[in-house]
Amino acid sequence: MSKHPIRLAVIVGSTRAGRLGPTISRWFIEQARDHGDLEIDVIDLAEAELPADLGGRLADGSYASPEVGAYAARIAAAEAFVVITPEYNRGYPAALKLAIDSVYTEWKAKPVAFVSHGGQSGGLRAVEQLRQVFAELHTVTIRDGVCFPMARDRFDADGRLHDVEGPGIAAKLLLSELLWWAEALRRARAEQPYGF
């Protein structure tokens, strides 16, 4: 066990009833636990209760509700992010945009990787849009991700993945790149605060 494991937040981006997102998230967390010593926080946006008017932060810097404060503290504590996103009508879910926009400085100078799921596209169009959004938040987005086309058909009724090999290899690459950046940016932030 490392003395200072990387604190990884896994964000479940879909919130609708009957969603596949938590199944994908459980699969990814198994991969992450096998990969190395990580402290994992699962942020399920269905439970975050973020106000839709973006009224999260008050003029004095405090948070408008305990829910926003708790969410902001979890984003601030994380040193790396994996966003699990479906694709809805060629974009990413509105709940995910709300979660991204509800905080700002908490994202800065940290790496973000993507696990996407969809129909034909596997969610890749949602991921490309998310890369543009996360650029504004001074994050580093990770080149390699995991993508599940026709995602619902890939898991059995107990949430087990049918074809484990390809996604497993993709998850390893994602995690290796993400942790490289997480370690590098942890050192860099400690050496010189990111003041932009």
Rounded Cα gap, residues 40 and 6, in angstroms: 8
Query: Smallest gap, in angstroms, from Cβ of residue 11 to ligand FNR?
Result: 12
Query: Smallest gap, in angstroms, from Cβ of residue 50 to ligand FNR?
Result: 18
Sign for the pseudo-dihedral over CA of 144, 146, 168, 28: positive
Q: Which of 4, 33, 143, 152 binds ligand FNR (CB under 6 A)?
A: 152
List the x/- string, 70-99, binding to ligand FNR by CB under 6 A: ----------------xxxxx---------
Query: Smallest gap, in angstroms, from Cβ of residue 39 to ligand FNR?
Result: 25
Is residue 4 part of the contact set for ligand FNR (CB under 6 A)?
no
Given its phi and psi angles, is residue 133 left (phi above 0), alpha (psi -120 to 50 degrees) or beta?
A: alpha
Is residue 145 part of the contact set for ligand FNR (CB under 6 A)?
no
CA 89 vs CA 78, 99, 181: distances in Å: 30, 19, 31
Query: Smallest gap, in angstroms, from Cβ of residue 166 to ligand FNR?
Result: 17
Is residue 151 part of the contact set for ligand FNR (CB under 6 A)?
yes
Q: Where are the alpha helices (DSSP H) in 15-164?
A: 21-35, 66-77, 94-101, 124-136
CA 45 vs CA 59, 61, 64, 149: distances in Å: 25, 23, 18, 22
- Helices 165-191 and 21-35: crossing angle in degrees, nearest 10, is 70
Q: Which of 20, 96, 109, 147 binds ligand FNR (CB under 6 A)?
A: 20
- Helices 94-101 and 124-136: crossing angle in degrees, nearest 10, is 20
Q: Which of 11, 14, 107, 113 binds ligand FNR (CB under 6 A)?
A: 14
Residues of span 153-192 touching ligand FNR by CB under 6 A? none
Number of chain residues interacting with ligand FNR (CB under 6 A) = 17
Under 8 Å between Cβ of 144 and 176 = no
Query: Smallest gap, in angstroms, from Cβ of residue 177 to ligand FNR?
Result: 24
Stretch that binds ligand FNR, among 74-82, 98-106, 112-120, 166-174 (CB under 6 A): 112-120
Residues that bind ligand FNR (CB under 6 A): 14, 16, 19-21, 86-90, 117-121, 151-152
